[in-house]
Amino acid sequence: MIRPIVKFGDQVLHREAAKVTDISADIAALVQDMIETMYAAPGVGLAAPQIGVPLRVFVVDVTGGRSRDSLLAFINPEFVEREGMQLEEEGCLSVPGFNATVARPSRAAVKGIDLEGRERTVEGTGLLARAFQHEMDHLDGRVFVDRLRGIQRDLIVRRIRKLTRSGKWS
């Protein structure tokens, strides 16, 4: 089932998500809904808080669905290591219409649990590393706008406030 994506300003996006305590049928259904929602958006990643569920779960597919072998789902993920530096433009399904250049490590290894309850570690570079870090930010109550500084951040936040006041950001 495709679920609505919450937007910047919704409180669920601005607080830390809770750990999943049991990989139940409900969690499996949540992950399936997240996958369908991500592909429909379309996006390359989606965290549970983005659909209003404050749990530590995310899905990523940097091929955008062109290669289902690239689909990854993590429950209770954590970073094993990060290194390097990349400066690339990012956008977010929860901040539609806005992009900005964000500095992030160029390599990231993430450890988490898959839907079968097995621990899994995946290392990513480039876009995959960026997607891991972007989705982990969502689990920690952050969006890419929070990583911006100065005028760049202020402009985006002011535009979103203006859209909110006019009823065009809901």
Q: What confidence tens digit (pLDDT) does each residue in 52-100 have?
A: 999 999 999 999 888 878 999 999 999 999 999 999 999 999 999 999 9
Is residue 107 in some structural domain? Answer: yes
Give the pLDDT confidence score for residue 65 in this predicted structure.
83
In a domain, 88, yes or no: yes
What phi and psi values does residue 81 have, to the nearest 5 degrees?
-160, 160
Q: Identify the domain containing residue 101 by its residue range.
A: 11-165
105: cis peptide before it, omega within 30°?
no
Residue 85 lies inside a defined structural domain of this protein = yes
CATH number at residue 17: 3.90.45.10
Residue 97: inside a domain:
yes
Q: Evaluate the CA torsion angle 154, 155, 160, 166 in order and state its sign.
A: positive
Residue 68 maps to a domain? yes
Domain contains 170: no
6 lies in some domain:
no
* Token pair for 10: 């919704």
Catalytic (active-site) positions: 135
Any domain includes 41:
yes
For 105-151, write each residue's pLDDT tens digit: 999 999 999 988 999 999 999 999 999 999 999 999 999 999 999 99
Number of domains the chain is built from: 1
Indicate the DSSP class of residue 64.
Answer: T
